[in-house]
Amino acid sequence: MKPHKSQTALQNYLDGLLQEAQVELQEARQTELPVQELESPQILPTLTTPAMDTVVKEPTPDLVVAVPAEAASAGEGGRPYWADQPFECLLFDVAGLKLAVPLVSLGSIYPLDGDEITPIFAQPDWFIGVMRTAAGNLKVLDTARWIMPERYNEKLRDNFRFIISIDGHAWGLAVNAVHESIRLQPESVKWRTSRAERKWLAGIVIEHMCALVDVQALAGLVGEKEKAQEKK
């Protein structure tokens, strides 16, 4: 049976990310930078997403910290600061692409059952609307448009089922599904040494075939977009 066109497109997209990581890995070897072998990550207990009993920490949507995208990665070899030692990540899906985000960057997870998000008139296309939470209003980003703009279509918004709030910021990511949390060794990630494109992409976790999101870099990009929007 031939794969569905959408599955083929998704695989091609992920292959492109993997190829970028591989090119950067080869460049690192050519410049004699140390590259360590992958280690298998440890799988941690699965989150209870239906009841949403598990939260990482309380969100602080009133606090907005704009971090320049260029300054988001301050660790060794382009690694974000949270990747200097073993770290835990949450796995989730956006438009069929598996992503991982460090737990240290997360706030809470909110299920979408209906009309929780209120659209706001005359806002940019990457902004879905506002969600009311116990901690205040949360701006909801169209994650698919941010992560994969080249293969985006409006129908992707229909499949968002959860909002993941980001600690220290007044916005959250709209996602399709939330999976288990995993523990990663820094050496288990093919880190990107250059962020000329896709600054949000910290690296690729080969073991789980997923992209690792640098939330601070993404926050820097969001901050830049918001400032540009305010000037209009």
**Residue range 151-180, pLDDT digits in tens:** 888 888 889 999 999 988 999 999 999 999
Summarize pLDDT for 68-92 with one digit per residue, the tens: 444 444 455 567 888 889 999 999 9
- pLDDT above 80 for 9: no
User: If you count DSSP H runs as helices and E runs as strands, how many of each does the chain have, helices first?
Assistant: 3, 13
**Cα–Cα distance for residue pair 58/104, rounded to 1 Å:** 12
Strands 162-166 and 171-175: antiparallel
Q: What is the CA radius of gyration of the chain?
A: 17
Closest CA to 77 of 147, 29, 20: 29
**Cα–Cα distance for residue pair 20/40, rounded to 1 Å:** 22
Summarize pLDDT for 180-193 with one digit per residue, the tens: 999 999 999 999 87
The pLDDT, as a whole number, for residue 67 is 39
**Cα–Cα distance for residue pair 133/221, rounded to 1 Å:** 24
- pLDDT above 60 for 126: yes
Which segments within the chain are labelled E, that is strand? Answer: 42-43, 87-94, 97-102, 106-111, 117-118, 127-133, 136-141, 162-166, 171-175, 177-184, 190-191, 201-205, 210-213
Regarding predicted confidence, which is higher, 29 or 130? 130
User: Residues 150, 136: contact at Cβ < 8 Å?
Assistant: no
What three-state secondary structure class fits 147?
Answer: helix
**Cα–Cα distance for residue pair 179/97, rounded to 1 Å:** 12
